[in-house]
Each structure stands twice: as structure tokens, then as C-alpha cells.
């Protein structure tokens, strides 16, 4: 897999995110393509990932880049992360034509209240619209969910599962929230008595998150007891694991990767081994 950064930064201000805000710097399409070509030639890479925080933040640039990728006719596929409010049908179609086979978007929460607290700047309706567009255009998509943020209740967490089955991404990821110094949620965590305010930068670099930021290792959230949260966490993770194991979904993922298997049959073999190990 080839990892490429085509831009850096994000203009949004989600309260949990440690990404540099406001200023976004972009590389030119020619510069990006020359890197892709170099990696392709030297390492025979067939699947690339744009690691940008919000790949489609600049619509005009995406169209320029995609047009150039189409003209280049490179035998590669690529994926990216973005936001549901930064997509439209025309853009998805040109991205697909330019080789995009996977898109990953943050859903974050099944609870509108928590989504709004996170200052994510998207609504469930926008997510529903994007889900329909992904299906219409035929691009494999992943939805990222997160649980364990301050102020979240058991009800909010269970909404993640309801919403997962409502929007039905082709693949789902559920993460447990980690606090990052400098974020709004970090400051909020201090006020709520979850975060250890005495943590210094050295701890941040040398310890695992659970050991450096929490006052109490087991205390993830201020509304749910540690025992209850541990139970909920394993229950929700198991549901998501089963959701992803569904044969139809695995088949869709394999279908999205068919060209990559065609370019390099070793990737197919690696994926079969991965599936069997589930």
C-alpha cells in the first residue's frame, strides 16, 4: 500500500481531533502524480491511500487531480478519507473514474446530540444522503464510529448500532475515544474530572493513552460506570465484528479490490488468509 499526503491540515474544528486547524496546504496535482508514479515504478504498488485529513476539502483541486489521473492511465487504485458534507455525485463519479475504490468517512456518533457536541459540523441527514450516493455511484465506503466520549450515555452508545444498520456502510470501524492534549474535549475532560491535568508532554510521548491521560485507568466516561462501559464496549465491538463478517459485505470489499488482485495476485492471497483468520 502506498501512503500519500496530498494536503495537510483541516479547516474544521471537531472537538476531539488533534489535527492542525484552519490552514490547509495543498500539493499540486502534478507533484502528487509524480510521487505516485515513482512509488508505482519502484515498489510495484497498486493500491494507494491518500492520508489527508479531509481529501475533498477543495472541490476544484479534486477535479484537476482526477482528470490528470485519468489521463495518466496508471494501473493503480486509491482510497481516501473525507467528510460526508464534502461530496456530491459529480465528484464521486470522477473520483471513481480516476481509480478511487474506497472512501472512508467519519460518522462518529449514532446520537445527534453527541454529534453536535463534537462540533463535527454534519448531521445524520447528510450522512444518509452520502450513504445513498455511495451506493448509487458504486464506491465501497467505510463508516467510522466512536464511543466513550464525555457526556455520552448508554442510550447514545446504543444509537450507534441502530444507525449503523440504518445507513449500512460496506465496512464499519468502531473506536474508543482517546483524548489528545490541546483539543476542546481534553479541556472538557479536565472539567469533568476524567483527565489528569498534571500530565506533561513527556508522558504523552512515552506512554499509552490510557496511562497518561486518565485520572483513573478504568474511568472512560463521566456518565457510565467503568464496569458498565467495559460491558458495552465488548458488546458493541462484537456487533460490529459480526456486521463486517457478513459474506455479502466481504464479497463487496473483494469486488472493489478486483483490479488490484488483477494487477498483483499476491494481494488476493493475503486477503484470503486475512479473511480465514477472522
- Judged by the rule CB under 6 A, the positions of this chain that interact with ligand SF4 are 10, 12-14, 17, 19, 53-54, 83, 106
**Residue with smaller CB distance to ligand SF4, 16 or 212:** 16
Nearest-angstrom CA–CA distance, 120 and 107: 9
Task: Quote the cell numbers at residue 148.
Answer: 466513550
**Residue with smaller CB distance to ligand SF4, 176 or 267:** 176
**Residue with smaller CB distance to ligand SF4, 33 or 179:** 179
95: number of CA atoms within 13 Å, CB side?
29
**Residue with smaller CB distance to ligand SF4, 7 or 45:** 7
**Shortest distance (Å) from residue 45 CB to ligand SF4:** 25
Choose among 265, 271, 273, 270: nearest CA to 251.
Answer: 271
**Shortest distance (Å) from residue 83 CB to ligand SF4:** 5
Choose among 88, 78, 33: nearest CA to 56.
Answer: 88
**Shortest distance (Å) from residue 170 CB to ligand SF4:** 20
**Shortest distance (Å) from residue 86 CB to ligand SF4:** 9
**Shortest distance (Å) from residue 222 CB to ligand SF4:** 22
Nearest-angstrom CA–CA distance, 256 and 101: 6
Determine how many CB atoms are found less than 10 A away from the CB of residue 217.
9
Cα–Cα separations (whole angstroms), residue 143 to 52, 110, 148, 260: 16, 11, 17, 22
**Residue with smaller CB distance to ligand SF4, 14 or 167:** 14
Amino acid at each position: 500500500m502506498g501512503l500519500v499526503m496530498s494536503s495537510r491540515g483541516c479547516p474544521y474544528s471537531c472537538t476531539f481531533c488533534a489535527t492542525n486547524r484552519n490552514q490547509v496546504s495543498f500539493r499540486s496535482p502534478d507533484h502528487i502524480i509524480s510521487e505516485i508514479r515513482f512509488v508505482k515504478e519502484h515498489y510495484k504498488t497498486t493500491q494507494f491511500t491518500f492520508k489527508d485529513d479531509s481529501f475533498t476539502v477543495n472541490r476544484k483541486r479534486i477535479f484537476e487531480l482526477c482528470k490528470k489521473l485519468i489521463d495518466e492511465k496508471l494501473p493503480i487504485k486509491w482510497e481516501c478519507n473525507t467528510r460526508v458534507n464534502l461530496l456530491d455525485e459529480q465528484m464521486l463519479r470522477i473520483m471513481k473514474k480516476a481509480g478511487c475504490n474506497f472512501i472512508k468517512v467519519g460518522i462518529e456518533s449514532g446520537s445527534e446530540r453527541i454529534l453536535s457536541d463534537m462540533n463535527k459540523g454534519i448531521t445524520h441527514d447528510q450522512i444518509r444522503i452520502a450513504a445513498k450516493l455511495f451506493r448509487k455511484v458504486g464506491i465501497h465506503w467505510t463508516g467510522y464510529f466512536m464511543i466513550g466520549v464525555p457526556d455520552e450515555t448508554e442510550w447514545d452508545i446504543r444509537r450507534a448500532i441502530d444507525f449503523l444498520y440504518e445507513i449500512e456502510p460496506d465496512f464499519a470501524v468502531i473506536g474508543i475515544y482517546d483524548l489528545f492534549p490541546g483539543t476542546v474535549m481534553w479541556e472538557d475532560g479536565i472539567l469533568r474530572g476524567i483527565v489528569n491535568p498534571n500530565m506533561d508532554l513527556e508522558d504523552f510521548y512515552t506512554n499509552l493513552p490510557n496511562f497518561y491521560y486518565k485520572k483513573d485507568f478504568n474511568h472512560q466516561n463521566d456518565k457510565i460506570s467503568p464496569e458498565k462501559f467495559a460491558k458495552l464496549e465488548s458488546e458493541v465491538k462484537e456487533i460490529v465484528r459480526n456486521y463486517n463478517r457478513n459474506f455479502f459485505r466481504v464479497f463487496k470489499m473483494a469486488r472493489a479490490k478486483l483490479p488490484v488482485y488483477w494487477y498483483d495476485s499476491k494481494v488476493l492471497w493475503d486477503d484470503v488468509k486475512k479473511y480465514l483468520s477472522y
